[in-house]
């Protein structure tokens, strides 16, 4: 019987796995599938242009070919893809420039572009056309996927000279649908423009209407740089893998210093003290599992400097304000940016929040709108299982004069920035409930909400004062007449004096109220400098207890 069972034993590639489980990549539902395709191709274009130091220009065209059948063209002005990597970049799962790097990027896994090629091939049987303009050469190829081998199938390669740069991907899809909804392509690109004001985006919709989201900032954000893994984020198997593949270090001590962040010669000496029986002069490849396990345990006993935080590049307070005002023109806008922190012991992250209230938010019919971002990428789907949504639900909005959050004319932007975002799935649409991250999201929301509260309380007080003044003014003429008849003074003089008293009284009470909170947001009361030790637990802040 056992022999009969194992006659069915087979090996499968990762491409075959995702072919059978495409919903794990976000391809579930016709509208969502269309948006996810645009998401994957646009984020690849933004990453490529920024890393090359080019101001991004993204062009997206959606053409309807039949019922639930569309042709999609996505073009960027990046550096293009070299001929030797073009097939793998768009036709092989887990192949690319991102998965193995500790670098803040929108993509992380090397799956997205190939996933789009896979979905096109599965639903239409047609290959994806790729046009790469790189180093003065224009390469045109049709790319499909060999699912069993997880290899690209490349056909009809053409080459020609060109002065252009960039990548154009043209592909057909069925089982997709284009809608102008809160989950459609238009909304995704609108939010992308909001979080990336340095990017120019053009969308041509199926009805040939053109939507342009012009850039409002003429410089690229500061480029993030790659960092080394931090010792506190390393497991036993990770340590052995790093040691196994190290080809340069002759000694374990030098391997540690070359491989990990904040690993100085002094830290190696501290490890020697904790691990007196370990030979730090032997080759890294000779380290055993037991030795690696003991070393990881020793890592946890030392006090470490936090990883380098300037590897993180948020949207930026000024840029968020510019984008919000261009899109909503709110009555009040508060943006706050928290100091960087670490999670899982050694991965840096930071949170920024923008809250816009009234004005254009109300005019657009937005009520309690939450815009989630990770590394400046909009997260439109799976909101129910996202750390950002869960944190917003725990907020006591009444404390900040937002009595019914979902009915208030308010728009909230939350952007999480990290060299490794802990997504809940390969579709990258929701962030897992990491406690450290949820705490920082809540603290940032609290800081921004206080600015809105100041504005609303000032506005409410100004309204109360205006009401009191109006009520008192009703009796001025009657009182002036009565006092005139009693005192013999002129009624007009008494009326003037009464009005002066009222103006002085209510003018002083209302002075300065109603304007607080406009455009102001705190930068957080916690600072994470280079010297901050990550082993020491951060103090918990209670809602409303942050020093102003």
Sign of CA dihedral 335, 341, 342, 348: positive
User: Which pLDDT value is given to residue 307?
Assistant: 78
**Cβ neighbours for 387, distance < 8 A, ≥ 6 positions apart:** 430, 431, 432, 433, 434, 437, 438, 441
User: Which pLDDT value is given to residue 152?
Assistant: 84
Q: How big is the CA angle at 217 (ends 211 and 221), to the nearest 5 degrees?
A: 115
> Could you give the CA distance from residue 285 to residue 514 in angstroms, rounded to a whole number?
67
What average pLDDT is seen over the chain? 83
User: Which pLDDT value is given to residue 534?
Assistant: 43
Judged by DSSP in three states, 61 sits in strand
Domains of the chain with CATH codes: 14-213 (3.30.565.10), 231-299 (1.10.8.50), 310-454 (3.30.230.10), 463-508 (no CATH)
User: Which pLDDT value is given to residue 323?
Assistant: 81
> Could you give the CA distance from residue 214 to residue 208 in angstroms, rounded to a whole number?
18
For 6-18, the pLDDT digits (tens) are: 666 666 677 777 7
Contact between 178 and 206 under an 8 Å Cβ cutoff? The reply is yes
| Three-state SS letters, 118-143 | HHHHHHHCCCEEEEEEECCEEEEEEE
Q: Parallel, antiparallel, or unpaired: how do β-strands 369-374 and 410-418 relate?
A: parallel
Contact between 351 and 440 under an 8 Å Cβ cutoff? The reply is yes
User: Which pLDDT value is given to residue 515?
Assistant: 45
Q: Parallel, antiparallel, or unpaired: how do β-strands 57-66 and 200-204 relate?
A: parallel
User: Which pLDDT value is given to residue 362?
Assistant: 82
User: Which pLDDT value is given to residue 533?
Assistant: 42
Helical (H) or strand (E) element with 527 = none
Burial class (CB in 10 A: 0-12, 13-18, 19+), 136: exposed
Judged by DSSP in three states, 448 sits in helix
> Could you give the CA distance from residue 112 to residue 64 in angstroms, rounded to a whole number?
23
As a dihedral over the C-alpha atoms of residue 238, residue 243, residue 246, residue 248, rounded to 10 degrees, the angle is 140
Q: What are the backbone dihedrals phi and psi of residue 296, each rounded to the nearest 5 degrees, phi first?
A: -60, -40
**Cβ neighbours for 39, distance < 8 A, ≥ 6 positions apart:** 26, 112, 188, 377, 378
Residue 59 bridge partners (DSSP): 75, 202
For 112-122, the pLDDT digits (tens) are: 788 899 889 88
String of DSSP letters for 369-418: EEEEEETTEEE-S-GGG-HHHHHHHH--GGGGT-SSGGGSSEEEEEEEEE
pLDDT along the chain (548 residues), means of 10: 66 72 81 92 90 93 95 94 87 64 62 85 92 92 87 86 93 93 92 90 95 89 80 86 87 91 90 91 92 91 82 86 83 90 81 91 85 90 90 92 89 91 83 92 94 82 70 79 81 81 70 45 40 41 38
User: Which pLDDT value is given to residue 543?
Assistant: 44
**Cβ neighbours for 112, distance < 8 A, ≥ 6 positions apart:** 39, 40, 41, 43, 44
Q: What is the DSSP letter of 351?
A: E
């Amino acid at each position: 019987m056992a022999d009969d069972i194992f006659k069915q034993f087979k090996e499968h590639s990762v491409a075959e796995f995702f072919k059978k489980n495409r919903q794990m990549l976000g391809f579930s539902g016709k509208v969502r599938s269309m948006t996810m395709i645009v998401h994957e191709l646009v984020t690849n274009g933004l990453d490529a242009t920024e890393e090359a130091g080019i101001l991004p220009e993204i062009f997206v065209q959606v053409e309807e070919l039949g019922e639930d059948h569309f042709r999609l063209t996505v073009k960027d002005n990046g550096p293009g893809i070299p001929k030797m990597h073009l097939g793998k970049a768009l036709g092989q799962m887990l192949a690319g420039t991102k998965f193995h790097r500790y670098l803040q990027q929108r993509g992380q896994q090397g799956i997205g572009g190939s996933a789009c090629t896979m979905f096109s091939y599965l639903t239409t049987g047609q290959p994806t056309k790729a046009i790469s303009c790189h180093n003065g050469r224009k390469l045109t190829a049709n790319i499909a996927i060999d699912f069993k081998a997880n290899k690209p199938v490349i056909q009809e390669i053409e080459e020609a000279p060109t002065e252009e740069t960039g990548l154009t991907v043209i592909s057909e899809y069925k089982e997709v649908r284009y809608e102008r909804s809160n989950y459609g392509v238009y909304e995704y690109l609108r939010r992308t423009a909001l979080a990336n004001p340095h990017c120019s985006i053009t969308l041509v919709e199926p009805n040939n209407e053109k939507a342009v989201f012009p850039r409002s900032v003429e410089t690229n954000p500061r480029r993030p740089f790659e960092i080394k893994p931090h010792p506190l984020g390393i497991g036993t198997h990770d340590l052995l893998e790093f040691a196994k593949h190290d080809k340069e270090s002759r000694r374990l001590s030098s391997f540690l210093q070359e491989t990990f962040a904040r690993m100085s010669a002094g830290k190696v000496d501290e490890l020697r003290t904790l691990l007196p029986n370990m030979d730090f002069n032997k080759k890294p490849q000779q380290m055993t599992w037991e030795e690696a396990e003991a070393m990881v345990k020793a890592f946890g006993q030392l006090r470490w400097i936090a990883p380098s935080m300037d590897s993180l590049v948020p949207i930026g307070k000024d840029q968020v304000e510019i984008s919000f005002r261009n899109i909503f023109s709110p009555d009040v806008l508060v943006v706050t940016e928290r100091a960087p922190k670490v999670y899982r012991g050694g991965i840096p992250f930071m949170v920024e929040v923008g809250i816009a209230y009234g004005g254009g938010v109300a005019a657009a019919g937005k009520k309690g709108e939450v815009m989630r971002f990770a590394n400046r990428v909009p997260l439109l789907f799976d909101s129910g299982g996202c750390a950002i949504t869960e944190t917003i639900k725990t907020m006591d909005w009444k404390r900040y004069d937002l009595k019914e959050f979902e009915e208030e004319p308010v728009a909230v932007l939350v952007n999480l920035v990290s060299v490794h975002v802990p997504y809940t799935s390969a579709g990258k649409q929701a962030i897992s409930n990491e406690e450290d991250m949820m705490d920082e999201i809540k603290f940032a929301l609290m800081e921004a909400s206080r600015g809105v509260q100041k504005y609303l309380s000032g506005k409410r007080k100004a309204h109360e004062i205006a009401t009191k003044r109006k009520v008192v003014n009703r009796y001025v003429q009657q009182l002036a007449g009565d006092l005139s008849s009693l005192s013999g003074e002129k009624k007009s003089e008494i009326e003037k004096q009464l009005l002066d008293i009222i103006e002085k009284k209510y003018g002083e009470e209302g002075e300065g109220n109603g304007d607080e909170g406009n455009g102001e947001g705190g930068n957080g009361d916690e600072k994470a400098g280079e010297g901050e030790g990550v082993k020491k637990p951060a103090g918990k802040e209670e809602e409303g207890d942050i020093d102003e």
